[in-house]
Structure 1
Amino acid sequence: MKKIVIAIDGYSSCGKSTTAKLVAAELGYAYIDTGAMYRAVTLYFLQQHVSLTNPKEVRDALDNIDITFHYNPKSKRNEVFLNGLNVEDEIRKMYISNQVSEVSVVKEVRRAMVAQQQKMGKKRGVVMDGRDIGTAVFPDAEVKIFMSADVETRAMRRQQELLDKKQLVNLNEIRENLQKRDLIDSTREESPLRQAEDAHLLDTSHMTIDEQVEFVLNTVASTIINTEQSVEERG
Structure 2
Amino acid sequence: MEAILAALAPQLQLSRPGPLVPVLPALQDLLPERGLRPGAVVSVTGGGTALLLALAAAATASGTWTAAVGFEGLGVLAAAELGVDVSRLVVVETPRERLADVALALADGFGLLLLRCAPPPGPVAERLATVARRSGCAVVVAGQWPGARVRLRVAARRWVGVGQGRGRLRARQLVVVAGGRGAAARERQVGLWLPDAQGAVRVADPQAPVSGEVGRVSAAAVRGPLVVV
Taking structure 1 as the reference length, what is the TM-score of the superposition? 0.33
Flag the structure with higher helix content. 1
Flag the structure with higher strand content. 2
